[in-house]
Amino acid sequence: MANEAVIIELLGNGGDPIQYNCADADAFPKGTILKLSDNREADLSNADGDICAGICAAEKVANDGSTTVTAYTNGIFDLTEGGAVAIGIGLPVTIHSANLIKIAAAGEAETGDIFGHALAAFAGSDTQSVRVLI
């Protein structure tokens, strides 16, 4: 996978990690944006409209016998913008696709899509890193 989040600063209690269920066969690189799935399960983010579960705190290797994964839910991270659209400071962000973010569209706050706010402006000329408070 590409475009993993870079941890800048963990806030709260060490990033306020939450443990989620996952399949033993799942593989998650550290820094992956995880989406909330059924029954408190986390999976790889892959589409606009995914609900963020957090940022994967440690690598989860496929078929390692583990059926849990931990995600950071409170911190400052460098995330990759995927739509080449300008983002202003303070604007809310959502999942765009696999490990990519975008500006939240109208109505996404009501559906729970928003998971952070930009701490820096992004010009929108190319895909690049944006500092985000989650």
What residues contact residue 16 under an 8 Å CB cut-off, 6+ apart?
Answer: 72, 73, 74
DSSP H helical ranges for 1-134:
none
* pLDDT tens-digit map of 39-93: 899 999 988 888 999 999 999 999 999 999 999 999 999 998 887 677 788 888 8
* pLDDT tens-digit map of 10-34: 999 999 999 999 999 999 999 999 9
The hierarchical CATH code for the domain 6-73 is 2.40.300.10
Helix (H) or strand (E) holding 55: strand 52-56
Give the start-to-end residue ranges of the domains of the chain: 6-73, 76-133
Q: Tokens in use for 86?
A: 């300008």
Cα separation, 131 vs 46, whole angstroms: 20
SS3 assignment, position 93: strand
Is residue 125 very low, low, confident or very high in pLDDT (cuts 50, 70, 90)?
low
Supply the pTM of this predicted model.
Answer: 0.90
Radius of gyration of the chain (CA): 14
Q: Quick check: 42 and 96 in contact, CB under 8 A?
A: no
Cα separation, 103 vs 75, whole angstroms: 18
SS3 assignment, position 92: strand
